[in-house]
Amino acid sequence: MDKKLDSKVIHPVAVIHTEFPEKFGIPRQSGLVSSLRGKILFEPEYRSMDAIRGIEEYSYLWLLWDFSKAKKENISLTVTPPRLGGKVRKGVFAARSPFRPNGIGLSSVKLEEVYLDEKEGPVLIVSGADLMDKTPIYDIKPYLPYTDSHPEAKGSFGEEHKEDSIPVDFPEELLLRLPEDLRESACEVLAQDPRAAYNKKPEYVYGMAFSGYDIRFTVEDQVLHVKDVVHTLDGHCTKVKG
């Protein structure tokens, strides 16, 4: 029983491009911000329409991916979910924390579009992704509702807090600095309140990197006020939409 089981080496099959060059602001689960788009590009050895033949018969996909920015030397057996204020400890296997053994994330995303790019090969455009830009993906599977969907499942604390959102005050002159196709997503992402539950400082100016822009905001009396939108010059400009 105590014989050590074999480890194995896994390789990314694809990479996703999203509007989030940093962790801050990424929705806490997939599907919470449905207007967000992600663009999946395959690694060279899978860059063939054969590898995705028939994928358009499905409306959702599973992504298995790398929690690439959540590395820790020692994985703790317990974690403190942000939705519980960061104060209550739960077992790592009873939470979806990124700080977990093997660091593999699981997200269901909606398949919006499939096309073949002459240079990049097959491209999957998905929505609702909760992944950082350039996240390596280890597997893509079709979502099968007859085996994957359990609407009656008990969801514990996540369920109670899923609708949590705060009003967003985004002055029009600042909103107009964002490209038109990013405005709705930006508002929806901010309404999720990107601040960590244990790090809510009144008057502090938070900065969220979003598709080449830095969106700066404060939260006062449970209202999020956007204070500035700055185009960043660091060259991050992965264009996900259109």
Question: Minimal distance in Å, beta carbon 224 to its own copies?
Answer: 22
Q: Does 10 bind its own copies (CB under 8 A)?
A: yes
CA distance 198 to 194: 12
| Side-chain-facing half-sphere of 89: CA atoms under 13 Å | 4
CA distance 50 to 206: 45
Single out the residue of 87, 153, 203, 234 in contact with its own copies (rule: CB under 8 A).
153
Question: Minimal distance in Å, beta carbon 156 to its own copies?
Answer: 4
93 in Cβ contact with 104 (< 8 Å): no
Q: Does 6 bind its own copies (CB under 8 A)?
A: yes
Nearer to its own copies (CB atom), residue 29 or residue 232: 29
CA distance 176 to 19: 17
Query: Within 105-124, which residues bind its own copies (CB under 8 A)?
Result: 106-108, 120
Single out the residue of 8, 73, 202, 221 in contact with its own copies (rule: CB under 8 A).
8
Structure token pair of residue 218: 């404060």
Structure token pair of residue 72: 């820790």
Nearer to its own copies (CB atom), residue 13 or residue 197: 13
- Backbone φ and ψ for 226, nearest 5 degrees, come out as -80, 130
Single out the residue of 152, 172, 180, 203 in contact with its own copies (rule: CB under 8 A).
152
Question: Minimal distance in Å, beta carbon 48 to its own copies?
Answer: 6
> For the chain, how far is it from start to end, CA to CA, in angstroms?
54
Query: Within 125-144, which residues bind its own copies (CB under 8 A)?
Result: 136, 138-144
108 in Cβ contact with 126 (< 8 Å): no
CA distance 22 to 33: 17
- How many residues of this chain bind its own copies (CB under 8 A)? 79
DSSP 22: S
Query: Within 26-85, which residues bind its own copies (CB under 8 A)?
Result: 29-32, 41, 43-44, 46, 48-55, 57-60, 62, 64, 66, 77-78
Residue 175 CB coordination number (10 Å): 17
CA distance 36 to 17: 11
128 in Cβ contact with 30 (< 8 Å): yes
Nearer to its own copies (CB atom), residue 156 or residue 232: 156
Question: Minimal distance in Å, beta carbon 169 to its own copies?
Answer: 27
Question: Minimal distance in Å, beta carbon 40 to its own copies?
Answer: 10
Question: Minimal distance in Å, beta carbon 132 to its own copies?
Answer: 14
Q: Does 24 bind its own copies (CB under 8 A)?
A: no
Q: Does 174 bind its own copies (CB under 8 A)?
A: no
Q: Does 229 bind its own copies (CB under 8 A)?
A: no
